[in-house]
Chains A and B, each alone.
Chain A
C-alpha cells in the first residue's frame, strides 16, 4: 500500500490510489479497540517514476453546458436575449461538469426543453423590429422568399454551428423555412422554424471537436481548434474574427498566438475563468444550500448566490485585474462582500443604503483569522452540515480540491457513530478524537480532521465563533507535520504547499479536456506546473501556456465505423406507436436477453447495440 504522508512530504502526490490511507476492512474491525495495529504506519517510501511520453486523449463530443448554451446564443444574437431556464441540467461526473459534458447525452426531457427553448428564442428574435433587423438582413419580396431565407441562414449559420455550412445543409434549412412560411402564410414565421431547427441541431448542442486524421493521430485545426479555444477561454463560441482566420486555414503559428493573445485580452476571458472556477471548486452545489432558519437567522435564500459571487469576484480580481500570484487566493485578506456577507464577516460595508446585490471590495482586519478562499462562506457553509460544522468535510475539500489528493470513501462495514456531547466530550474536537484514534478510521481521518478541525472557529454558515458548546475552541493542529495556530496559519501553509499550484494546473487541464483520468498525461501536467511557477503563478499565463502547448492540438485517432442502417429507415411518418418502439430499439438498453425470441426485424440491431461500456 502506498503511504500517504511520505508522498505528500515530497510534494509528489498529484493523485493517490484509492487504496491509499485505507486500512484493511476485512474482516470487520472492532472500532472500539483503539489499540489494534495502525495499518497506515508502514514506512515504505514510494516515489512515483518520472512521467512517460504524453498520450493524447480520444476526442469526445462535448455537450454545451448551460452557461455555454446561454453564451452561445447571447454572443450570436445579442446580450439582452432572454434564455429560458428550463434546460437539461449539467451532469457532474467525477466531481466535474466538464467531465460530465464529454460523457453525457441529451435526455427525453432535455430534448423537449431544448425544443421549447428554441421556439421561444426564435419568436423573441423576430418580435422587436430593432432586433429583427439584426436577424433578417434582407427585405422579403413575398411570404416565401428563398433568397432572403438563405441570407438569414448564411448570416448566422456559421456562428451557430461554429463552422461553415455545407450547401445541402443550407438547402434543407431553406426548404423548411419555405414550407413553414407557406403553411403559416408569413415569412417571419418561416424564419422562426429555420432558427428553431438550428438551435435543436446536435451540430449546435454538441461541440464537434474531433480533429483531422494525420500520421496515426488527430490534429485540431481550423474551425475545431477555434471552437476548442473559445469554449476554454471564453466559455462561449468563436467570434467572427476567429472564424475568419480559421476558415482561411491560418489558425496556426504566429497567427494562432496572436489570436490567443487577443482572446486573453478580451473581457469574455472572465467567463472562461468563471466556468473553470465553478467547476473546480464545485460552486454549483451552493444552489442546494439550506440552513435551519431558527438556528441561523443570518441565512436567507440569497446566501448561496452571494457566497458564489464572492469567490468569483476575488478570483477575477487576483487573476485578471491584478494579474497577480494566484496563491493569493488562499491567503489574501481582501475580499468582495455584499451587505449580507459583510455582516456575516463582521466588517463594515463601505456604502450606505446599497442594494443587496451590490458588492464592494473590503480588507478583512488582521486580527481575524479569516483568510482567502477557505475563509469564505462558500467553503465554510458548503462543507458543513445543515446545523453543525463538519471538520471531516472541510478537510476532505482541502485535500481533494486544493491539494488534489484522492481520499477514498469510508470502508464498508464500519460503525461511524461519534459520541454525543457530554461532560467529557463537549466539543466536536473531543468527540471526533475517536475517529483520529480508532485503527479503522485514523488512516484517513487524521488526514482530513487535522485540517478540518482548524476551521472550528467558523460555524456551519461561516460566522466566527470563539467557543463550541461553551468551551473555548482550540483550533491548533498540523498539516502533514507543519504546525498551525489558526485558520490564517492553514492558509499560509497551503499557499506555500507545492501541491497547490500543481493542483490548479491539473484542474485547468481537466477543464480544458473534459477527461477525468490524466495519469498518462503527467508529462504535460508537470510542464504546466513548472511554467506556472516560473511565471509567478499567474493564471492568465498558465491558460496561455496550456492552449499554445503542443498537446492542445493533439488527439488520439479513433476508428469511424460505418453507420448501421436505421431499424426505422423510411418510417419517419409511420404510426406514432411503432415509430416510438423502433426509436427506443435504437438505444442500447435492450440487451440480448430481452430479445432471445428474435422474431422481429429490429432485433438484430438490438443485439449489436449490447451494453454501454
Chain B
C-alpha cells in the first residue's frame, strides 16, 4: 500500500469530521427517546390560579368577633407568633419578656382613622368610627417593597401575589420603610417560643427576617382558600381581579369599594366594601 501525502491528508480530514460530528449525532439521537424521562416541575392539579389575585373585605358585615377569628386563624395557619402567649418555661428557660412594639402581624384590626387617614372627616358617619377594619398586605400592583428589596427576597409573582423568599431575606428592613401600609413585621427575636401551637404545614421564621401576608400562597397551591377567607364567614373574598366572571369582580361591580392610600399610586389589590 502506497501512502501519498494526499491520501494521508484526506483520511485525516475525514477522521476529524467524524469526531467533530459525534456529539451532534448523539444529541439528536437522545432527543428522540430520552426527553420523556427528564424531571419536571409542575403545579399541583388542584391548585388555584389567577391572573392577578385580589381581596375584597365586606366591611358592612364585619364585626369584632369575626375579625378576631380571622386574625387568630391567620396566626395559626402561618405560625405568626403571638406575644400575649406565655412561653413554655421548660422548653425555653430564661426568656426576656417580649416588647409590644416588636409584635408580628400579618392581618390585624385597625380603626377607620388609622386604616384610611386621608379620608378622615369631621362629620364621618358614626358607624365607621366603631367598625373594625382588617388591614394586611395589599399585594400592590406597583409594590414599593419589591423595588426596595436589595436581594430580591421580596418579589412579585406573575399571579400578582407579593411574595417573600424568607431564605433570602437579610433583614435590612428597606421594605418596611418602603411599605406605606406598615404591612411588614421584623423578627427581632426567635419567634418560636411565642407560637402557641406550631402548624406543621408551614415553616416558622428565624430571628432577623422580615415577614408579611403571602395570601396563603401555600394553601392556594393546594387548592385551599386562604385561612382568613375560611374563617371570615363570607366577609372576605379572594379571587381573580382580571377575570370579569369571578366572584370578586361581581362584588366590586355591584358595591362601592375603597382602597387604602390610593393616591400613592401603588395600586393595592385589597378592596373594602363600605
Partners in one complex: no
- Residues of A participating in the B interface, judged by any CB pair closer than 8 Å: none
